[in-house]
Amino acid sequence: MTQMTMVQALNAGLRRAMENDPKVLLMGEDIGPLGGVFRVTDGLHKDFGDLRVIDSPLAESGIVGTAVGLAMRGYRPVLEIQFDGFVYPAFDQIVTMVAKHHYRSGGITRMPMVIRIPYGGGIGAVEHHSESPEAYFAHTPGLRVLTPADAAEAYVTIQQAIASDDPVIYLEPKRRYWDRAEVDEVSAISGSPWTSRVLRRGSDVTLVGYGPMVRTCLEAADAAAEDGVSCSVIDLRSLSPLDVEPVADDVRRTGRCVVVHEAPVVLGVAAEVSAQVTEQCFFHLEAPVQRVGGAFLPYPPNRYEKHYLPDVDRVLDGIDRSLAT
C-alpha cells in the first residue's frame, strides 16, 4: 500500500493501463511534456512518446471527433478535457456520435473511449472552471458515467473505465485531487465499478453522495454522531448505470435518506435517486427524501463559492429536516 494523492493515483492507473495494452493512448490539451494542468499525465509523454501521449490543438470537438475514428479502428483513446466548462464545444460529438454509434451500428462497432473531465468547485477557480455537468451525460443513453471519491478508487476505476467497451465519462472531483489515501498498486484489479459502495452503516439516516461530496458526507456523519445521530454513508460512484439497490436496502432500515451533490438540486442526479428510493421504499420511509445541493444559479465568482457549495452544515441541516418530519 502506498500513500498517494488522487492525481498520483490517476497517473499510476493510466501508466498501468498503457503498459498492459498498447492500444491505449492519451489525447488532450497540454497533456504532453507539461503533464496537463493538474499534472495527471506527468511523465507519461517522456516514457510513451508522441504517438501515445498526444498534445492536441485547443479544439475539444476535434479531440473527441478524432477519438471516435480511433475507437472505431480498435484503439482505446483516453481524452482529457482540461476543465468541466470546456466540454461543451464537444457536447455534440459526445451525445450524437460517441453515445449512439454502438446502437446505430447494430452492435457491430464498439466505442471504447474514456473522456476524463475535472469537475466541481472548491478550488477558487475563475468562470467556467467549477461546473458540475454530470446530469447532462447521465441522462444520455449509451454513455457510462463514473466519478471516484478518493485516490484508491481513482487508481482502480480509471483502469476499469479504460477496459470498458462502452464510452465512459470519467468525472474527476478536482477539489479532491490533493487528498491522500492508501492505494494498492500490487493486487489485481477486480470488482465492478458500476455499483454503489456502502462506506458506513448507521441506524437513523442514510446519506448518499458521490465524487467530491463523499468526504463531506463522511464528515457530516462524524458531526451528527456527536449529537447521537447514527448515519449510513453510501458512495454512488457510478451515475450511469445508477445502482440504487444498496441505497434502498439501507433506507429500508433507517427510514430516512439525504442525497447530496454539488450540482444544482433542480433536475439533478439527486432527483432521480430520490424518485427511485421513494418508489422502492415508500412504506419504509419515515420522512420525505431530502436533497442538498447547489443553488439554481450559474456558478458564482470564487469569493462566493463557499456560499454556493454544500458543506457539512448544510448536510446536517438536511439531516435535521429529515429527523424533524
Catalytic residue among 45, 102, 129, 261: 129
- Tens of pLDDT, residue by residue over 13-24, are 999 999 999 999
At position 232, the amino acid (one-letter code) is S
CA distance 121 to 294: 11
Q: How far is CA 89 from the centre of its chain?
A: 20
Q: Is a pLDDT exceeding 80 seen at residue 175?
A: yes
Q: pLDDT per residue over 47-59, tens digit each?
A: 999 999 999 999 9
pLDDT tens digits for range 119-140: 999 999 988 999 999 999 999 9
Element (DSSP H or E) covering residue 263: strand 257-264
Q: What is the pTM of this model?
A: 0.96
Q: Are 101 and 109 in contact (CB under 8 A)?
A: yes
pLDDT at residue 190, as a whole number:
86
Separation between Cα atoms, residue 136 and residue 125, nearest integer Å: 22
CA distance 222 to 130: 27
Residue 10, pLDDT > 90, answer: yes
pLDDT for the residue numbered 297: 92
Looking at residue 145, its pLDDT comes to 98
Flag whether pLDDT at 325 surpasses 80.
Answer: no
Name the band, by pLDDT with cuts 50, 70 and 90, for residue 1: confident
φ and ψ at residue 171, rounded to 5 degrees: -95, 120
| pLDDT tens-digit map of 59-117 | 999 999 999 999 999 999 999 999 999 999 999 999 999 999 999 999 999 999 999 99
129 is catalytic: yes
Report the distance separating Cα 215 and Cα 285, nearest Å.
25
Cα dihedral sign, 81-82-84-87: negative
Is the pLDDT at 232 greater than 90, yes or no? yes
pLDDT of residue 302: 87
For 252-265, what is the mean pLDDT?
Answer: 97
Does residue 324 have a pLDDT over 80? yes
What's residue 154's pLDDT?
A: 97
User: What does pLDDT average to over the chain?
Assistant: 96
DSSP 315: H
32 has a pLDDT exceeding 80: yes
Q: How confident is the model at residue 279 (pLDDT cuts 50, 70, 90)?
A: very high
Give yes or no for a cis peptide into 212 (omega within 30° of 0): no
pLDDT tens by residue, 163-173: 999 999 999 99
d(CA 270, CA 261): 7
CB 251 within 8 A of CB 282: no
Quick one: what percent of the chain has pLDDT higher than 70?
A: 100
Distances (CA, A) of 223 to 205, 244, 302: 13, 25, 27
Residue 157's pLDDT band (boundaries 50, 70, 90)?
very high
Cross-strand bridge partners of residue 238: 146
Q: State the pLDDT confidence band at 152, using cuts at 50, 70 and 90.
A: very high
Domains of the chain: 2-183 (3.40.50.970), 197-324 (3.40.50.920)
